[in-house]
Amino acid sequence: MKILRLAAAAAALFVSLQASVQAQTTLRIGLAEDPDILDPTLGRTYVGRIVFASLCDKLFDIDEKLNIVPQLALSQETSADGKEVTIRLRPGVKFHDGEPFNAEAAKFSLDRHLTLPTSFRKPELAALDHVDVVDPLTIKLVLKTPFSPLIAQLTDRAGMMISPKAAKEEGDKFGLHPVCAGPYKFVERVQQDRIVFEKFADYWNKDNIQIDRIVYLPLVDATVRLANLKSGGLDLIERLLATDIKSVQADPKLKLSSAIELGYQGVTLNVGKDKAKGALSQSAKVRQALDLSIDREAINQVVFNGEFKPGNQWVNPDHPYYQKAFPVRPRDIAKAKALLKEAGVAAPVGVDFMVPKGAETEAVAQVIQSMAAEAGFDMKIRVTEFATSLKQAEAGEYQAYMLAWSGRIDPDGNSYIFLKTGAPQNYSTWSNPEADKALDDARLVTDQSQRKAIYEKLTKLALDEEPLLYIYHRRILIAHTTRLEGYKQMPDGLVRVVGLKLK
């Protein structure tokens, strides 16, 4: 009898363990690319920001109406002269390694953004002179000058907090084992295959975390991503093709979430670092000719079924900072040819056109190639893996580069790091003192009408010299299973996991 009771107990334990395993929920997210390094100070890819949304909480976040809301910070107060910002921090927060989040930790993260030689956050926090610890849960940001985009910058990677202990121990390998204070903690990463997170038991908002594990799977082919979603291999995919919208809407097991992005899709032109000294880098007239050869609305209709929004600036035409005095110029092949002639350039103008791998990106590049050919350009498309393309852009190993920017809520975040002389993502290496002044001046004022007047000057300079051709603004298209409840899409394109449930 004793043996039978033990056997029954063992069987019951097995069933209990099996039920426990079955109760574990895993959200599988299909990404369009493999992210770069998982270090908020060094990261620069859109998919990296999607992954960080689960891993690294920020001082502030945004809501659906683009209002700035508290996250790891509770409040902020700016001094009358605009040079001091006092931030009160949330109590009881822990990093994934159990270390406490406090004022010293916040100061460490911000100092690291400012001082790490390879930091991509430094220009985002350029006005920050130093951080003072006021008390265990209060910091004061002391600025060199007033800096209107500051709090908006802290809603993204510049505001992500990392464990000082882990950062010191890991050194330059921190991105291989990141430790933050977000809802999920890092488990493993297999390059080009998967990134695995598990729920952090001590998360400050743990009652709103209902899913046990998240697995991010990079699948470059959008058709493969959708096939996996339909078959049940994935629960959510980002960057659904616009041509697949109807397919998702017709599937009772799937749901579509969308919003017009804050960012832009464009072609960066190598102005200052083209070793071959091609015609594009030598003359603004040649760059204007390339721009005039492009029909933005035709691209929208042909590639995206009219779902996206054509544009010619770093913010979309519905944005309050869009400069209506500079509307999208219509395609004009005759004028484009005349500009080439004025520049003393003979057709065909050969252009090394670097294009990150991806169905829609490649399709847009092919349409641009065809359009530009009519004006006398020979756009030689070179399809490149995304992370590799960024490295080549840094080195100036391209002449035209099809590059997207996911966007920020403040216009400074869409312009400064790409157009300011010496900024780390100024891949065109364009340099214009008047543009630099406008970029800096716009950071000093908070009044929208004053800032918009400053950005009008910058817009004219950028559209005259054309270091970057702004082409269109995407509709963020996220498809997911109806088993996933509570999902809302915001214009920044991130996939937020707090509050989500899997039925």
DSSP letters, 155-201, are: TTGGGB-B-HHHHHHHGGGGGGS--BSSSEEEEEEETTTEEEEEE-T
- DSSP-derived 3-state class of residue 298: helix
- Single-letter code of the amino acid located at 366: Q
User: Are the beta carbons of 158 and 147 closer than 8 angstroms?
Assistant: no
Q: What is the pLDDT of residue 126?
A: 87
Dihedral (CA of 63, 65, 66, 67) sign: negative
Tokens for 445?
């004022």
Residue 4: per-residue pLDDT:
38
Distance CA(209)–CA(97), nearest Å, equals: 18
**CA-atom Rg of the chain in angstroms:** 24
Give yes or no for a contact between 85 and 78, defined as CB atoms under 8 angstroms apart: yes
CA pair distance 278, 292, nearest whole angstrom: 19
Contacts of 190 (CB under 8 A, 6+ apart): none
Write out the E strands in 90-183: 128-135, 138-143
pLDDT of residue 340: 98
Neighbours of 144 (CB within 10 A): 11
pLDDT value at position 12?
Answer: 43
Measured CA distances, 69 to 24, 63, 205, 288, 393 (Å)? 31, 7, 15, 41, 35
Instruction: Give the predicted TM-score (pTM) of the model.
Output: 0.82
What values do phi and psi take at 240, rounded to 5?
-60, 140
Please list the pLDDT of the chain residue by residue as tens digits (503 residues).
434 343 344 344 333 434 444 579 999 999 999 999 999 999 989 999 999 999 999 999 999 888 999 999 999 999 999 999 999 999 999 999 999 999 999 999 999 999 999 999 998 898 999 999 999 999 999 999 999 999 999 999 999 999 999 999 999 999 999 999 999 999 999 999 999 999 999 999 999 999 999 999 999 999 999 999 999 999 999 999 999 999 999 999 999 999 989 999 999 999 999 999 999 999 999 999 999 999 999 999 999 999 999 999 999 998 999 999 999 999 999 999 999 999 999 999 999 999 999 889 999 999 999 999 999 999 999 999 998 999 999 999 999 999 999 899 999 999 999 999 999 899 999 999 999 999 999 999 989 999 999 999 999 999 999 999 999 999 999 999 999 999 999 989 999 999 999 99
C-alpha span between 64 and 258 (Å, rounded): 12
Total number of residues shown for the chain? 503
Contacts of residue 502, defined as CB under 8 A and 6 or more positions apart, other chains included, come to 25, 27, 210, 211, 235, 483, 484, 485
Cα separation, 173 vs 187, whole angstroms: 15
Of 95, 218, 104, 84, the residue nearest 145 (C-alpha) = 84
Give yes or no for a contact between 501 and 485, defined as CB atoms under 8 angstroms apart: yes
Nearest C-alpha neighbor of 419 from the set 380, 383, 451, 458: 458
| Distance in Å from the first CA to the final CA of the chain | 42
Burial classification of residue 154, based on how many CB atoms lie within 10 Å of its CB (0-12 exposed, 13-18 middle, 19 or more buried): buried
Q: How many CB atoms neighbour CB 422 within 10 A?
A: 9
Q: Residues near 43 by Cβ (< 8 Å), separated by ≥ 6?
A: 35, 36, 37, 49, 52, 120, 157, 175
